[in-house]
Amino acid sequence: DVKVTQSSRYLVKRTGEKVFLECVQDMDHENMFWYRQDPGLGLRLIYFSYDVKMKEKGDIPEGYSVSREKKERFSLILESASTNQTSMYLCASSLSVEGAFFGQGTRLTVV
Amino acid sequence: DQQVKQNSPSLSVQEGRISILNCDYTNSMFDYFLWYKKYPAEGPTFLISISSIKDKNEDGRFTVFLNKSAKHLSLHIVPSQPGDSAVYFCAASVNTGFQKLVFGTGTRLLVSP
């Protein structure tokens, strides 16, 4: 079974802090994604990566950056956390068009 | 601009009856559609998919129907079970090779005993 692991289930950070969300997958997938889920808005794509050191902006990249130094690891960085970045963050990986496999999510609260 | 829309935020169904979840899309370039199920405090899990070359795909109690002319798809669950209670997300992609999924806003299904 594919396993996508996010480093934290719950995180509380202060406004202005730099925040790192880590995601690791164990199935050698080429594609990795970061989404955020907010009530009434569904899942929105922040960034994705289709290869090591490659990244593409999604629909809502402002205030975020990403890093993919190794194939199995995709990190989401909040450069200066703000309260409107309080959300559920979901990492996913995929190999083919059959769909993405998601991690368990990180509930981030920025105070 | 919401390219994938789920206009019903919630749906309540009795156990044993049929659940029908609907999804509309606007981008005619989408060629692959998926349904994901999400329990609270967990990531979404893949449920069923359909390619644009088909109009129906069935997997056990779950069937997805695609009407390309209407840009509409639906998920049928028969018979519904209490364990099906979750949020269901419709998603679509253009097969560019990146499998970038565009999600709807979700429908919360409650199946009561």
The answer to whether A45 contacts B100, with C-beta atoms less than 8 Å apart, is yes
Mutate to test the interface with B, among A21, A49, A50, A97 (most CBs of B within 10 A): A97
Comparing CA positions, the residue from A8, A104, A6, A26 lying closest to residue A70 is A26
Answer yes or no: are the C-beta atoms of A46 and A62 closer than 8 Å. Answer: no
Query: pLDDT (tens digit, 0 to 9) for every residue of chain B, 113 residues total?
Result: 679 999 999 999 999 999 999 999 999 999 999 999 999 888 999 999 999 999 999 999 999 999 999 999 999 999 999 999 999 999 998 876 566 889 999 999 999 99
pLDDT given at position B2: 78
DSSP-derived 3-state class of residue B20 = strand
pLDDT given at position B72: 97
Comparing CA positions, the residue from B29, B35, B74, B21 lying closest to residue B52 is B29
Q: How many CB pairs under 8 A join A and B?
A: 66
Cβ-based contacts of A100 with chain B (< 8 Å): 46, 99, 101
Answer yes or no: are the C-beta atoms of B93 and B49 closer than 8 Å. Answer: no
pLDDT given at position B58: 97
Q: Which of A24-28, A98-102, A107-111, B83-87 has the weakest average pLDDT? A: A98-102
Q: Is A110 on the interface with B (CB under 8 A)?
A: no
Q: Express each pLDDT in A34-60 by its tens digit.
A: 999 998 899 999 999 988 988 999 999
How far is B33 from B104, CA to CA, in rounded Å? Answer: 11
Average pLDDT, chain A: 93
Which pair of tokens denotes residue B44? 């979404």
pLDDT greater than 70 at residue A8: yes
The answer to whether B43 contacts A4, with C-beta atoms less than 8 Å apart, is yes
pLDDT given at position A4: 95
How far is B32 from A97, CA to CA, in rounded Å? Answer: 8
For A5-10, which contacts have Cβ atoms below 8 Å and span 24 or more sequence positions?
A5/A103, A5/A104, A6/A89, A6/A90, A6/A91, A6/A103, A6/A104, A6/A105, A6/A106, A7/A106, A8/A106, A9/A104, A9/A105, A9/A106, A9/A107, A9/B41, A10/A106, A10/A107, A10/A109
pLDDT given at position B60: 97
Q: Express each pLDDT in A64-99 by its tens digit.
A: 999 999 999 999 999 999 999 999 999 999 877 667
